Structure formats: C-alpha cells, structure tokens
Amino acid sequence: MESKEKPVSEQTTTPPAMERRRFLQTMGSAVGLAAAATLAGPDDVLRTVEAAAQSLSGLSPKQAAREESFWLGIQQAFTMSRSLINLDNAWTCPSPRLVTEAVVRYTWLQEEEPAQQWIQKLRPRQESVRIGLARLFGCDPEEIALVRNATEALQIVLFGIPLKSGDEVLTTSLDYGSMVSTLNYRQQRDGIVLKRIDMPTPPKAMEELAGAFERAITPKTRLILVSHIAYLNGQVFPIKNICDLAHQRGIEVVVDGAHSFAHLDFTRQDLDCDYFGTSLHKWLLAPKGTGLLYVRKDKIETIPPLMSAPSGRRKANIRKFEQVGTHPAAPILAIAEALSFHTVIGSKRKEERLRYLKDYWAERLRKVPNVRLYTSLQPEMSCGIATVGVEGVHPVAFRDYLWERHRVQTARIVSAGIQGLRVSPNLYTTLNELDYFCEVVEDVAKKGLPEPHKSFKPDDTTTG
C-alpha cells in the first residue's frame, strides 16, 4: 500500500542557511551527549539529552525526526556494537547505558545486605516506578502491576477472566502465538469457542480492520483479544473503534500492547480498553524481564492471580498479580531510568523518528522488482516495524544469509500468509546502516541468494 506522504527522497528540505544554523546548534548538543554517555553519570546524560531536545523546540515532532545531528547524540547513549546491524528490535531492545548501569547499581545495593533488609529498603521504591508508568499510560497507579513481560501480563487476564462453555472469544490471524495457545488451553479446559479473524496484509484502510471485528461479533461473544501493533508485520489496529464496538455489546477487550507502549504516543484514554499488557524491555528500553499489566480498577477483583497472593491482596489489590516468589529488585527499579530517558526525548518525537526510519528503508525497497511489503506505509497504519519479502526467497534462508554474510539481524516471518523478514530499527540505528540493508536486499531481489544459502533450513526460533 502506498504512503499518503511523499517518499523520503521527495520531501521538502530545510533552506540551507536555516539548516546550517540548526546543525551547529544540535551538533554541539550531540557531541556533548556523546561525551556524557561515555564519561558521566546518568543525570548528566539526561541533562544533555534534555538540552539537545530544547534545540528542537521550534520544530514539530515530524520535523525533529529528520534532524540527524540530534539523533547522532541519542545514538551515543547506547552501547550497541557497530560491528553488526540489529534490525530485530521488535524482539527485545538494547537499553541505553544509563539503564544498564542502574541495574548494576541496584544489584550491588541488593547484594550488600540480607534479604529482609534489601526487601524492606528496595521494594518500597518500586512504588515510584508504578507511579511513573501510570503517568505515561494515563491511568491510576492502583491499576498498574509490575510483571516480567507481556506474556505473563496477558496470561494473567486470559487465564483468569470468567468464561464458561460456549462463550466466544475473538482474536486475529496476526495475534501472538503464546496468547492464542493460552486461549486454546481454555478452549480445552472450559469449552470456550475461539474464533480467529483473517486479516489482510496490508489492509487498504483502518475501517477494514474494525469492520472485520464488527462482522465477527455474535450474541455469544464475550471477549476480544487484539494487538495494538501486530508482531508479524507492524500493523497498527484501531483499538478505540474496536473497544467502542465491543463495549456497546457488553464485550470486554484485552489489548496486547507488547509493541505499542513507548513506541506510539498514546494514553489509556485513547484506547478505552479493559486490560492491557506489555513488555517494557521492548520499546521503553527498560531492563530485560520487565513488563506492565493494566487492569481497569473495577475489574481487578474479578481476575484471580496466576500464583496465590497473601490474603490481603487477593481481591481488589493490583499487587496480587505481582506474586511470583523471590525475584530481583534491580531490573524493576531501573525502569525509572528508562522512563526518564523516554520522557526527555519525548513520546511523539520518538514515535515520529521510528516511523521515519521505517519509511526510509521501506519507501526505497517497495519500488524494487520482486520485493513485496506486507505493511502499509500510511502513517496511521504503521510506525517503526514493517515486514518485507523477496519473491522466491524463503525468509529463513534470507535471514540466515543476512546474518552470516552481512551481520544484519532481522526476524523471519512465516505466518498468516506472510513470507518475509520483519525489520525493526531503533533510535540508535543509523541511516547508513539502513542504506546497507537496502543494498543487500536489492542485490538478492535481482540475483537471488548465493550458494549455499539457497537451500531451506529448518527453523524453530521464536519471533518476539
């Protein structure tokens, strides 16, 4: 599907004199950020990022997304090796240095004292993390549970929500396998009916997606599970429209936000969902093994935890979902640094940068013979993730070739009629890296894969 916007190469450029003045302003900030990222503490890095962001105050987020001198500074806040090109950030994202250092710092604090002492000192600090996440998501902190990932968050709801034999649950062909497996289990255990809606890749318009749900709803439908951004191809779903359709009929909605939180600029009010789960180690850039579960306050009591909680937390206390036994405090506490890094960059500015990076490579490759995009480039239908395939080239062999010969990491997608590579740049990705990726894909589209990469290889790697 063609973008409504002009291709990157055709967009209007800033006048040379203005561009030179802005470059000098932001380049100084970028150099300062590079120094702060390597030599100074986290507060210095955040102050320098904030100063660099202030130099963009006269620009819209869309304009700021193209200010390479600013993003050069942001790139220096990461420790990602430049001996490889990581275009698989939709699985898990590398954290900026200040987040990694915070994990180490909190880990040392935890190791200094017996368990009773560090639990009493460090666990209460998690409440500030809860408050910070609630502010970003736009909800009451008492509706936020700190969990380990999106899978745990969503399974708490999907296993716990009251459903009886014959009740229908709707989901789509683009939803995550672990969540579908959870519903399959409930189908076997409780006799529910699971209906999966086939979705086009890509659709022509958002209305096509909402309309598919409206047609699939029956008087027996009790629950909808839908991804905000589909992991297979980066398709953005019209969640508010779907929730409105559902709520008018007394149907609850669970949103898989694994790829939307801190990727798109939105709040809970923009969705109006009943439940929302996400992994914070994806687009928030938080430590690995951190996640968030949102449950609307009036529904907390109706959902039992996966593990038994203390008696005082078994009913309407959101913390009952956090009961998993002994677990480290450091990764959860370091979410605060990730929140700070995200906030000083700006949610909308970050969204537009991720969309710009996707458009940069996708606009180029969509014009190449034998190349197919499984993702719409309309701004409202995708952001930083897109999936691309080459006719006659198996995605597993293609992914292996890119990594083994070129040290470019992508994710293979073979599902829901998609045969391609999921490409997901991040804030630290450079345009030169995307140019190189495009050159390799163009060569493969023209010549095919060289031996021995032509042969198909079995693959059981899970795609995040």
Give the CATH number of the domain where residue 160 resides: 3.40.640.10
pLDDT of 13 reads 43
Mean pLDDT confidence for 137-163: 97
The tens digit of pLDDT for each residue in 176-228 reads 999 999 999 999 999 999 999 999 999 999 999 999 999 999 999 999 999 99
Q: State the pLDDT at residue 455.
A: 61
Looking at the fold, whether 62 and 156 belong to one and the same domain comes out as no
Q: 219 lies in a domain?
A: yes
31-81: pLDDT as tens digits: 445 444 444 566 778 888 888 888 888 899 999 999 999 999 899 999 989
As a whole number of angstroms, the distance between CA 260 and CA 237 comes to 10
Q: Is 96 inside a domain boundary?
A: no
The residue segments making up the domain with residue 265 are: 104-340
The predicted model gives 154-173 an average pLDDT of 98
Question: For residue 454, what pLDDT is reported?
Answer: 65
Assigned domain for 28 exists? yes
Last residue of a domain, one of 278, 306, 340: 340
pLDDT digits (tens, 9 = 90+) for 386-395: 999 999 999 9
pLDDT digits (tens, 9 = 90+) for 99-125: 999 999 999 999 998 988 888 888 889
Select the more confidently predicted residue: 16 or 377. Answer: 377
Q: For the chain, what is the mean pLDDT?
A: 90
Question: Which stretch of 47-56, 77-86, 228-237, 310-319 has the lowest confidence by average pLDDT?
Answer: 310-319
Residue in 49, 33, 89 with CA at minimum distance from that of residue 408:
89
The larger pLDDT score, comparing residue 425 to residue 309, is at: 425
| pLDDT for res 11 | 43
Residue 388 lies in a domain: no
Residue 355 domain flag: no
3-state secondary structure string across 388-448:
EEECCCCHHHHHHHHHHHHCEECEEEEECCEEEEEEECCCCCCHHHHHHHHHHHHHHHHHC
Domain count, the chain: 2
Residue with tokens 């010969």: 405
DSSP one-letter code for 225: E
User: Among 16-25, 262-271, 273-282, 301-310, whose mean pLDDT is lowest?
Assistant: 16-25
Residues 196 and 329 in one domain: yes
* Residue 45 near residue 68 (C-beta atoms within 8 A): no
Q: Are residues 119 and 251 in the same domain?
A: yes
Burial (CB < 10 A; 0-12, 13-18, 19+), residue 145, is buried
Which tokens in the block code for residue 61? 């987020």
How far apart are the C-alpha atoms of 79 and 98, rounded to whole Å? 10
The pTM of the full predicted model, rounded to 2 decimals, is: 0.89
Q: Which of 340, 359, 382 is a domain's end point? A: 340
Label residue 96 by pLDDT band (50, 70, 90).
very high
Mean pLDDT of 234-256: 98
In one-letter notation, the amino acid at residue 437 is: F
